[in-house]
Structure 1
Amino acid sequence: MNDGHRRVRARRFVAGVGQAVDEPLAEETPVALLYNGHPHAVMMATPADLEDFAVGFSVSEGLVAEAGEVRVVDQMRHGDGIALHLHVPQAAFDALVSRGRNLAGRTGCGLCGTESLADAIRPIRRVRGLPAVSGRLVMLFDELQARQPLNALTGGVHAAAVLDDVLHLHVREDVGRHNAIDKAIGAALRHGASPQQLLVTSRASYEVVHKAATAGIGLVAAISAPTALAVRLASEAGLTLVGFARGARHTLYTGIDAETL
């Protein structure tokens, strides 16, 4: 497994004094996802935990109904990029082809390549919201913070954590926040667990909420603000949405058990 970073030579200046340094930087690599031999999307991603990424992306994008329907056939490196060859059932593949998508995607951009406005704002799955218990959020974000070795090394990646139904926390990192989410979802699913809560070291955008609901997650907590569209979609989904989750503080935008905050 690629550890997701590379060292480069640089010159660091402190108070005008320069010093040669060997600087660790996060990798950013084109990762192509091909389903049954058909190209679907290319995402700029950190080349680590790619099987988690493939499974999580397939489920969170609604391309398959469950993790068991997608199989990683091969990983092939082509020049500076990586091709993930995946196999899905014929019905899922037919739906994927009819949905359509271009190949170009910026770093972690979940909407890049969509071919129409209708594809951009898709209907959202209803889920069962979970209580936003303050003490647990603090504990989970503390653990998330402690389990970011790539960010500690490079200072240049996002992280996401999925708490599953047996209270195990699956943490993954990536240069793109959506990729980190897909990797964390995929990690939980590949362990045979059911994702319950999602924590992200970013804002909570529409795409974050949509991916979570599609994967059956009942609570999303972000260290920064949600967007107005994310709040509306979370409300429609029945999902509990928390923003500004930093230390003992957080803001509940949608969800249940407000009295526990």
Structure 2
Amino acid sequence: MGRITARRPITRITVGTEEGDRVARRSDTLTVEEPLEIRVGGTSLAVTMRTPGADVELAAGFLVSEGVISRGDQFRSAIHCGGPGTGGPLAGQTENTYNVLDVSLAPGVPLPDPDMARNFYTTSSCGLCGKASIDAVETVSAYDVSRDAAVLDAATLTGFPDRLRAEQAVFDKTGGLHAAGLFDAATGELVVLREDVGRHNAVDKVVGWAVLNDRLPLSGHVLMVSGRASFELVQKAVMAGIPMLTAVSAPSSLAVELAASSGLTLVGFLRGASMNVYTGADRIRVSEAEAVATAP
């Protein structure tokens, strides 16, 4: 697993055993969290806290979310930088600590506006930290997801959380990672899954995978996330041309508003045999639907 996980000594306390409270000392596996500075053309754009691994995908997906690129052919290459001052916690060492990534865009693709640069780092729980204003958050997508004709059965959708959980290899070791999975709406098959300490990073890695494989826009696909559906996750789905976002937990009010205005299907509390469809219910087929009185 390399730098994805780390072993640390802990004290394990169990209260109320037959012999009384039990204290044991052992090692525990933790999810690694380290900073990644994303540069474009040598100029710093943002610093995000992430789980190392798939850094190029993360950067590519981040650039899609920010509206810098919208197609795979606009992303040329990326390289980890080394040397003094590029090591985050290890700054001053000469070896490459793989915490700085410099992206090169394709010829003719405009560099990010200097005003886009984040004023401070993005934490693993926040995909929008550092934005200068609310207006800067409402990025305009190159794709119109409202026209996407994707439809799938509700019964197929209920199987997505278990499919996602079954593929979370690092979560099994640490219990400390979010997951994002991309499903084909036509077949219900899992296309790609990524894990990260930050839920927005996991989504960026999935979108970045699509960038590097020239799969944008991701029409006809469903994005499934292991946590809640926040505004920035809806925005990332729309920016990548994904027509459906499903989550095992709750959406925020702003997430629902953005989904409704964008024509994205938003599903929350997808657990067991039930789900809450907040927007775009016409994309979800039900069999022998029974009318139920609307609660006030």
When normalised by structure 2's length, the TM-score is: 0.81
Q: CA RMSD in A?
A: 2.2
Partners of 1:131 and 1:255 within 8 A in 2: no
Kindly state the Cα deviation for residue 53 of structure 1 after the two structures are TM-superposed.
0.9
Kindly state the Cα deviation for residue 200 of structure 1 after the two structures are TM-superposed.
0.4
Partners of 1:30 and 1:44 within 8 A in 2: yes
- Alignment-derived partner of residue 119 in structure 2: 102
Partners of 1:132 and 1:257 within 8 A in 2: no
Partners of 1:131 and 1:256 within 8 A in 2: no
Q: What amino acid is the match of 2:116?
A: R
> C-alpha separation between the residues in 2 aligned to 1:57 and 1:258?
27
- Alignment-derived partner of residue 187 in structure 1: 209
Q: What amino acid is the match of 2:105?
A: V
Residue of 172, 175, 183 corresponding to 1:163: 183
Residues 191, 258 of structure 1: alpha-carbon distance in 2 compared, 3 angstrom cutoff:
closer
- Alignment-derived partner of residue 197 in structure 1: 222
Does residue 210 of structure 1 match 2:228? no
Residues 150, 222 of structure 1: alpha-carbon distance in 2 compared, 3 angstrom cutoff:
same
Q: What amino acid is the match of 2:127?
A: G
**CA offset digits 1:15-34 (Å, max 9, x no partner):** 22111111000000000000
Residue of 126, 138, 145 corresponding to 2:144: 126
Does residue 25 of structure 1 match 2:30? yes
Residue of 231, 250, 275 corresponding to 1:225: 250
Kindly state the Cα deviation for residue 120 of structure 1 after the two structures are TM-superposed.
2.6
> C-alpha separation between the residues in 2 aligned to 1:61 and 1:136?
32
Seq. identity, %: 35
Kindly state the Cα deviation for residue 257 of structure 1 after the two structures are TM-superposed.
2.2
- Alignment-derived partner of residue 66 in structure 2: 61
**CA offset digits 1:53-94 (Å, max 9, x no partner):** 122111122111212212333113533360011012466444
> C-alpha separation between the residues in 1 aligned to 2:133 and 2:279?
29
Kindly state the Cα deviation for residue 188 of structure 1 after the two structures are TM-superposed.
3.2
Kindly state the Cα deviation for residue 179 of structure 1 after the two structures are TM-superposed.
0.2
Residues 72, 29 of structure 1: alpha-carbon distance in 2 compared, 3 angstrom cutoff:
farther
Where does structure 1 lack aligned partners over 5 or more consecutive residues? Answer: none
Q: What amino acid is the match of 1:189?
A: V
Where does structure 2 lack aligned partners over 5 or more consecutive residues? Answer: 16-20, 90-96, 287-296
When normalised by structure 1's length, the TM-score is: 0.91
> C-alpha separation between the residues in 2 aligned to 1:181 and 1:66?
17
* Bigger mean CA deviation after superposition, 184-193 or 199-208: 184-193
